[in-house]
Amino acid sequence: MTTHQTSQTMKPATAAKKLGVYLEATPAEFQEGVVTRAELTALQADPPAWLLDLRRDGPHPRPVVASKLSVSIAGLARGGVTEALTTEQIDALKQDNPEWLQHERSVQAAVRKDAVRIKELQQEKQEKRAQQGK
């Protein structure tokens, strides 16, 4: 008895998100088709030139822009950045270092510091519970 296994597919937007690229900047054949898990794995393992170029030069989707600027996506929006940016534009923003970017970076640093503090507190509580259970 043979079983026919259908391969899982995803929309181009989902595949672009997983690849960390801006969908509108991908080739038309990528945008118009569906992507199988195997194709996605192949793109990740051996990226074609267009994918390497997009990852290097952009335009980059907002999550990537936020990461490169060390701010949150909401911080980007508060700073008025709502479109995809190229690496060159991101570098220019870093160079200019506007007041909103400085503020959002400090907010993001405080959020990260607080997350670490909370995680440490939770770990201490777990260790105390484990010792009380002995």
Q: How far apart are CA 23 and CA 17, in angstroms?
A: 8
The pairs formed by 42-46 with CB atoms below 8 angstroms and a separation of 24 or more are: 43/15, 43/19, 44/19
The stretch 13-25 carries a mean pLDDT of 91
Q: Considering the entire predicted model, what is its pTM? A: 0.74
Strand spans (E) along the chain: 9-10, 35-36
For 39-95, the pLDDT digits (tens) are: 899 999 999 999 999 999 989 999 999 999 999 999 999 999 989 999 999 999 999
3-state helix, strand, coil in the chain (%, to 5): 70, 5, 25
How high is the pLDDT of residue 96? 93
Q: How far apart are CA 30 and CA 26, in angstroms?
A: 6
